[in-house]
Amino acid sequence: MLQIVREKRLLLKKTAIFYFIACSISWPFFWVRDRSPEILTSATLKTLAQFLMMWGPGISALFCFVIFRKTHKRTITFQRRQLFLRGALFYITPFAIAALINRDLHFFQYAALSFIYILGEELGWRGFLQDALRPISTVKRFLIIGVLWEFWHFTTRTSIGTPFQILLRLCISYPCVILLAFILGVVTERFRSLWIPLALHAFVDFVLMDSPEHAILIIPIALGIWAGMLWLWPKYLDELSTSGIPKN
């Protein structure tokens, strides 16, 4: 019983410290972007603000890896070099398809920038917090991550509109982000690779927010290729395990 109490306290401590650091870094830049954009007087400042905003969870995760190095067991990483290339190919797939269809190499630039920004989020939410919350049930774990992830967005949902419009927006955004947290959480848990949620997160942003006009062609092709790669993924994990190489 005492051991269970200690584990719960440690879990709460990890979560609280991680979230406090993540929000302390990200929230000022969310506020500036959404409430006082005139402060960002140059492209350099806008880029720096965007980077720090997105990397709040990632920087927090890096701190927490050090702070809790004796008690935190990482199972979700980029994995060993044997699977690194496979993960990188998984990530680049939809952007490569878009580049081929449109004969436009700027999609690779988009992929590189998305990787830099989204890695900050995924290193935090999946790379640290999903492992930190491992002692609790799967449903509770992904629900907590989803709620914290959505609330982390701070002014994103509340900076525009009437109170009714804001409430309506929150009633949509919370279920959607929680659902996404479950989807990303499940696939991350299955394959234990940070490449998977990173790719899916970038894909969702790319299709829904940045290039919805490309969705009809990209989605079925990308999903087909991904399905084949994921079908083979456990096989390679098993091969690494039987050859004496840890899966993670």
Mean pLDDT of the 92-113 span: 91
- pTM for this predicted structure: 0.89
Task: Give residue-wise pLDDT tens across range 56-71.
Answer: 999 999 999 999 999 9
- For the chain, the structural domain boundaries read 71-242
pLDDT at 40: 87
pLDDT tens digits, 88-102: 999 999 999 999 988
Residue, of 102 and 143, whose pLDDT is higher: 143
pLDDT (0 to 100) of residue 232: 80
Q: What is the mean pLDDT of residues 169-194?
A: 94
Residue 63 to residue 57: CA distance in whole angstroms:
10
Tell me what percent of the residues of the chain surpass a pLDDT of 90: 61
CA dist 125 and 129 (Å) reads 5
Task: Give the Å distances, CA to CA, from 51 to 33, 46, 100, 162, 234.
Answer: 12, 9, 29, 29, 34
Tell me if residue 192 falls in helix, strand or coil: coil
Q: Using 50, 70 and 90 to split pLDDT, how confident is the model at 241?
A: very low
Give residue 172's pLDDT. Answer: 94
